[in-house]
Amino acid sequence: MSDTDKGKTIAERLVHLRAELPVGVELVAVSKFQPVESLQAAYDTGQRAFGESRVKELLEKIPLLPSDICWHFIGHLQTNKVKDLVGKTFMIQSVDSERLLALIDSESRKKGLTTDVLLQVHIAEEETKFGFSLVELEERFDADFKGRYPNVRIRGLMSMATNTDDEEKIRKEFAAVANLFNILKERGGGEDFILLSLGMSDDWPIAVEEGANLVRIGSAIFGPRV
């Protein structure tokens, strides 16, 4: 967060951020590790989309906050937590393997639901980040891919850039995901396949320039995680 933002309230930072985001770019306020009071302060400014990265934390927060919040799950989802999560989210952005996709699909079917998801693309240098590789998705996401998972709706792609100050590197990574997004969309992504979730507190302006229409911003709104 910039020094000028440090003295501001959550509401002030959100209002400022929304004014900077171009029309058509949706903001998910990443509230992981933040207390419910902070989420409520964001909610009171009109924010409805929140992002959480741990199932347990999300399930604890849901009953403490208004019921019209759209919860985006953005963390690595362990297969044994799928049944706890399905039915609780507006969207699962972090589907990082076909095995996980299949599990979300079957759990959704059991519950009589359709779950909105994004496929996570691994583009960053860090081995600790998860996701499909560009090549893997380009190969596997054929016309039949979606049909295999009737109880999930694949809405687009999500990715994280390498954690670096090298803006050109970040830009290249985002551009590569945006390019794949356009290819898959052409290839039968269908009318549901419209979301490109790129960009966090430090790199969202680059992401938006490269075509992101969903940004996930945490610390620039809430301050450091507690």
CB of 143 to ligand PLP, least distance (A): 29
Query: Which of 27, 103, 152, 217 contacts ligand PLP by CB under 6 A?
Result: 217
CB of 124 to ligand PLP, least distance (A): 11
Residues numbered 139-158 forming contacts with ligand PLP, rule: CB under 6 A: none
Residue 102 CB contacts under 8 Å (≥ 6 apart), including other chains: 148, 149
Query: Which of 97, 151, 162, 201 contacts ligand PLP by CB under 6 A?
Result: 201
Q: Are 14 and 204 in contact (CB under 8 A)?
A: no
**Closest among 127, 172, 132 to 156, alpha carbons compared:** 132
Number of residues engaging ligand PLP in binding (CB under 6 A): 13
Stretch that binds ligand PLP, among 144-152, 169-177, 188-196, 213-221 (CB under 6 A): 213-221
Residue 133 CB contacts under 8 Å (≥ 6 apart), including other chains: 121, 122
**Structure token digits, residue 71:** 């919860």
Query: Which of 31, 34, 53, 108 contacts ligand PLP by CB under 6 A?
Result: 53
103 counts as binding ligand PLP under rule CB under 6 A: no
Stretch that binds ligand PLP, among 83-91, 101-109, 133-141, 218-226 (CB under 6 A): 218-226
115 counts as binding ligand PLP under rule CB under 6 A: no
Q: Are 105 and 159 in contact (CB under 8 A)?
A: no
**Closest among 169, 208, 201, 149 to 21, alpha carbons compared:** 208
Q: Are strands 115-122 and 152-160 parallel, antiparallel or unpaired?
A: parallel
Stretch that binds ligand PLP, among 82-90, 99-107, 173-181, 217-225 (CB under 6 A): 217-225
**Structure token digits, residue 52:** 């959480």
φ, ψ of residue 117 to 5 degrees: the values are -140, 160
218 counts as binding ligand PLP under rule CB under 6 A: yes
Chain residues that interact with ligand PLP, rule: CB under 6 A: 30, 32, 53, 74-75, 160, 200-201, 216-220
